[in-house]
Chain A
Amino acid sequence: MTTRLSEDDIYRTSTQYRLWSYSPAQLAAQRKKTHELAIARARQNASKDGEQNGASDLEYLTEEEELQLVQRYCGNIRSVADHLKWPMNVKTTAVQYLKRFYLSNSCMTYPPKEIYKTALFLASKTEAIHITVPKFAASISADADAILAPEYKVMQALRFTLDVRQPFRGLKGALMELMNMAEGLMGTLSNTEQKTGKEVQAAMLALKLPPPGSKTPWKAPSGTLTPTHLNDRIRAAYDAARHLLDAPASLTDAYFLYTPSQILLAALHLSDEPLTSFYLDTKLPTTSPHRSKILSTIQSGAEMLASYNPKGMSKEERDALEKKLDRCRDPTTKDLIKSHAAMKRNGVEEGKLDEEKSKRRKLEREKSSKEMDDLFGPSLAGGKANGNG
């Protein structure tokens, strides 16, 4: 009476897969669009204000600068979370919230310094940390209203999806399996060649050593390897991989481009390549038609993690960028707190709008729908949607 649910099947129903997974080209295109829209809008605002002084592109943030800014505030999220001693999953979720937010918003529309605390606070709630706004605000010397005001904005930009699938549990699973194999407790599994527990253990003992440049700190002892050494090797690889799952996986685009299991295998691969290949071989028959594609995906994931550069901008660069943002920031979205308060005060129900107003809104909607289609793809009429094609 049970249906086996593979982790893979489950991942494919996740919002992370359905809404937040991209190919590199799609991701770049998405960011480009968001950026260009923000600039087009800023130009329009400028000309409306009568300041037709031929404002040149130089005054606006470049796409690259936007990315740098977002990256910087992802770093801030991480330091605040560390300061509050919050667990890894909160930090990771908050960083992805911020990154997702800026796929459809430009820093020029909503500067990240006004958003990142909200993203972190929201993540603290979805990840079951219990802290009130006033307490949270006080602990980071921020203003409570400033944290709450953009909360709906963030929810909207997240498209009301709050779950961030993370690779940590999967990595722990791999650790357990590898340790069992090292102890000779596990023969190889379904659909690969059959081996006894002892044979698996022997094969592990005969593995090549991690090549130079591997992230694992483990060094082979002199003399013959024992299962205890093997255990050390696995632990060391795990620790190094877990380290890679922190900043490198979280701050690069890995979550947009790879699945959690691909990310963890990429991290293991960088830590101890021979061990990881061995592990994969126990899962993936050499005859599998998908094998080469899977291996190359892990390889490219590993390259992405390896490319992570912890050195951010210098203080001067940061200040210059913030100054530039101050100049080109969208004036119409400036007072989030005020508009938040106003909305709370005299919230108008859509049903209660008078006829005139709703007609006007309908017109506006039609006008703007083209832009939306550009951004998120056309909406599906009539609710007779099929899967994402």
Chain B
Amino acid sequence: MAEHVAKSPALDVPPEPPAKRIKLSPQPKKQDADDSGPASPSATPLVADLAEQLDAQERNKYVKGKKLGSGQYADVFSAYLVTDPTQLVAIKKIKVGAEVKEMGISYDSLREIRFLQELDHPNIIKLYSVFSTKNQNLNLVLEQLPQGDLLKLIQDTQNISYTPADVKAWMLMLMRAVHFCHANFILHRDIKPNNLLIAANGEIKLADFGLARSFADPYQPMTYNTITIWYRPPELFFQAQFYGGAVDVWSCGAVFAELISRDVLFRAWPESEMNMVKLICEKVGTPTEENWPGVSKLKGYVTPTEIQPVRPKDYWLANFRTIGEIGVDLLMKMLTLDPKVRLSAEGVLKHEYWTSAPRPSKLEALPRKGGGIEVMGEDLKRRGGEVPGKENERGDKVARKIDFGAAK
């Protein structure tokens, strides 16, 4: 690798291979010129398409088992390595819907593949490899995260209790993941508790990059019709087309509040955009030129006529006192109306909340989901290793775009 030229001259860092990755897929061997003899024609038939063979080889490394869950556009199965059954993975098989004729491989899966391939971080779900099956289904080999998601913990008020230190630990992992995405110029655009999966060791993993996009070019307009409605920031309701990491920070703020109060912060019902704007005005304050210069020029700027002045700290303290004053200060800065003033992910990580008492809980101390019972019950419905045939069942194709509810 000594000859490898990949390094940035702008920085005084010597070139090095990337830090060790647990990659299940074959890594390319960068061969030296001198061991590159001509490909010897052998007696066996020569394959036409080496990439296809490589794909098949990857596919055959796994033994697929029971279904772990299914979502709008994918079924997820447990699987293990042929060579080492103790190594579990999750195989996310993308459903092929009728829209293939219009679109070919779907945007969601292309985005998920594109971005997860680039992101290697302890708090972001790891994509080990991708393969396709004969009938041209895409399969993502992901790390298996058996402890459910954060939403389940938040909602299980019967069996699960947790402390402000636990909230801090979870939020810290989330913010590290988001900061890492932003440092890679990637917006997640769908941060919410059910997209935060939990690993066996209690670590939080940001998942579902189906709505992510790169914000490489600041002059390219982006859709404002994104992020699950309850977690969507005001600038998107006002139809801003140029936005940045601040949209994800708002979602994180909403998750933070939800973790503390165990209730969705902006639970608009019915889930209309108008109701969301109303709720934001009521709970945070009405966006005006005073608190958000330029807001009235946004295309979709509409607010209720009665103006609610921006809520002071006392208001927030009354609802979120358990997290402490410093925590409330951070929460307010994450849920600041004006995205230019709202903290960046890096700004959040620099807040004194993280270093003030209590210290974030250790992973081992974090509460786990209670009932293995429900999961067991699901398993019993199926015979071992059998894959339920749900090939052509697909819910509402466009639901992902239009139904922002996801109140599951």
Chain A residues proximal to chain B, CB less than 8 Å: 1-2, 5-15, 17-19, 21-23, 25-26, 28-30, 32-33, 36-37, 40-41, 43-44, 87, 89, 104-105, 109, 121-122, 125-126, 128, 132-134, 144, 147-148, 151-153, 155-157, 159-163, 166, 168-169, 191, 257-259, 261-262, 265, 280, 283-285, 288, 290, 294-295, 297-298, 330, 332-333, 340, 343-344, 346-351, 361, 365, 367-372, 374-389
A33–B36 touching, CB < 8 Å: yes
Q: How far is the CA of A163 from the CA of B111 in the complex (A)?
A: 10
Assess A381 versus B83: contact at CB under 8 Å? Given A10-B183, A13-B120, A134-B102: yes
Counting chain B CB atoms within 10 Å of each CB, the highest count among A6, A12, A343 belongs to A12
Specify which of B12, B137, B354 is in contact with A290 (CB 8 Å cutoff).
B12
Task: Check: B322 CB closer than 8 A to any chain A CB.
Answer: no
Assess A383 versus B87: contact at CB under 8 Å? Given A36-B39, A126-B114: yes
Q: How far is the CA of A4 from the CA of B103 in the complex (A)?
A: 39
B137-154 with Cβ < 8 A to chain A = 137-138
Binary contact track B211-251/A, C-beta < 8 Å → 1, others 0: 00110110010100000000000000000000000000000
Assess A347 versus B27: contact at CB under 8 Å? Given A160-B113, A262-B8, A294-B9: no
A387–B60 touching, CB < 8 Å: no
Specify which of B29, B31, B44, B135 is in contact with A349 (CB 8 Å cutoff).
B135
Please name all residues of chain A whose beta carbon is closer than 8 Å to the beta carbon of B1 when the two chains form the complex. 388-389
Counting chain A CB atoms within 10 Å of each CB, the highest count among B84, B113, B119 belongs to B113
Task: Check: B404 CB closer than 8 A to any chain A CB.
Answer: no
Please name all residues of chain A whose beta carbon is closer than 8 Å to the beta carbon of B32 when the two chains form the complex. 25-26, 29
Please name all residues of chain A whose beta carbon is closer than 8 Å to the beta carbon of B20 when the two chains form the complex. 386-387
Task: Check: B155 CB closer than 8 A to any chain A CB.
Answer: no
Please name all residues of chain B whose beta carbon is closer than 8 Å to the beta carbon of A284 when the two chains form the complex. 9-10, 12
Specify which of B28, B64, B104, B130 is in contact with A148 (CB 8 Å cutoff).
B104
Task: Check: B179 CB closer than 8 A to any chain A CB.
Answer: yes
Q: How far is the CA of A201 from the CA of B72 in the complex (A)?
A: 57
From residue A120, how far is it (CB to closest CB) to chain B in Å? 12
B8–A11 touching, CB < 8 Å: yes
Please name all residues of chain A whose beta carbon is closer than 8 Å to the beta carbon of B183 when the two chains form the complex. 5, 10
A343–B136 touching, CB < 8 Å: yes
B117–A29 touching, CB < 8 Å: no
Q: How far is the CA of A23 from the CA of B44 in the complex (A)?
A: 32
Please name all residues of chain B whose beta carbon is closer than 8 Å to the beta carbon of A381 when the two chains form the complex. 83
Specify which of A134, A144, A259 is in contact with B7 (CB 8 Å cutoff).
A259
B48–A371 touching, CB < 8 Å: no
* 13 A-B residue pairings within 8 Å (CB atoms): A23-B4, A29-B32, A89-B220, A109-B48, A125-B105, A133-B102, A159-B54, A259-B8, A261-B9, A290-B12, A376-B29, A380-B23, A383-B84
Binary contact track B271-282/A, C-beta < 8 Å → 1, others 0: 000000000000
A44–B41 touching, CB < 8 Å: yes
Total A-B residue pairs with C-beta atoms closer than 8 Å? 319
Please name all residues of chain A whose beta carbon is closer than 8 Å to the beta carbon of B5 when the two chains form the complex. 21, 23, 257-259, 262, 297
From residue A180, how far is it (CB to closest CB) to chain B in Å? 16
From residue B283, how far is it (CB to closest CB) to chain A in Å? 28
B60–A365 touching, CB < 8 Å: yes
Counting chain A CB atoms within 10 Å of each CB, the highest count among B14, B53, B120 belongs to B53
Q: How far is the CA of A22 from the CA of B3 in the complex (A)?
A: 9
Please name all residues of chain A whose beta carbon is closer than 8 Å to the beta carbon of B26 when the two chains form the complex. 376-380, 385
Q: How far is the CA of A284 from the CA of B220 in the complex (A)?
A: 33
Q: How far is the CA of A102 from the CA of B180 in the complex (A)?
A: 33
Q: How far is the CA of A365 from the CA of B154 in the complex (A)?
A: 48
Task: Check: B22 CB closer than 8 A to any chain A CB.
Answer: yes
Task: Check: B384 CB closer than 8 A to any chain A CB.
Answer: no
Majority-rule SS of A interface residues = helix
A379–B36 touching, CB < 8 Å: no
Please name all residues of chain A whose beta carbon is closer than 8 Å to the beta carbon of B375 when the two chains form the complex. none
Q: How far is the CA of A295 from the CA of B234 in the complex (A)?
A: 47
Please name all residues of chain A whose beta carbon is closer than 8 Å to the beta carbon of B129 when the two chains form the complex. 160
Please name all residues of chain B whose beta carbon is closer than 8 Å to the beta carbon of A44 when the two chains form the complex. 41, 45-46
Task: Check: B55 CB closer than 8 A to any chain A CB.
Answer: yes
Specify which of B28, B41, B111 is in contact with A43 (CB 8 Å cutoff).
B41
Please name all residues of chain B whose beta carbon is closer than 8 Å to the beta carbon of A346 when the two chains form the complex. 135
Q: How far is the CA of A229 from the CA of B9 in the complex (A)?
A: 28
Q: How far is the CA of A21 from the CA of B6 in the complex (A)?
A: 7
B103–A133 touching, CB < 8 Å: yes
A6–B180 touching, CB < 8 Å: no
A368–B53 touching, CB < 8 Å: yes
B350–A7 touching, CB < 8 Å: no
Q: How far is the CA of A361 from the CA of B134 in the complex (A)?
A: 13
Please name all residues of chain B whose beta carbon is closer than 8 Å to the beta carbon of A388 when the two chains form the complex. 1, 17-18, 27-30
Closest partner residue, chain A, to B114 (CB atom): A162
Q: How far is the CA of A104 from the CA of B217 in the complex (A)?
A: 31
From residue A208, how far is it (CB to closest CB) to chain B in Å? 21
Please name all residues of chain A whose beta carbon is closer than 8 Å to the beta carbon of B27 when the two chains form the complex. 18, 377, 380, 385, 387-388
Please name all residues of chain B whose beta carbon is closer than 8 Å to the beta carbon of A43 when the two chains form the complex. 41
Please name all residues of chain B whose beta carbon is closer than 8 Å to the beta carbon of A290 when the two chains form the complex. 7, 9, 12, 14
From residue A328, how far is it (CB to closest CB) to chain B in Å? 14
Assess A156 versus B132: contact at CB under 8 Å? Given A104-B50, A369-B57, A378-B26: yes
Binary contact track B28-70/A, C-beta < 8 Å → 1, others 0: 1111110010111110111111111111110111001000000
From residue A266, how far is it (CB to closest CB) to chain B in Å? 10
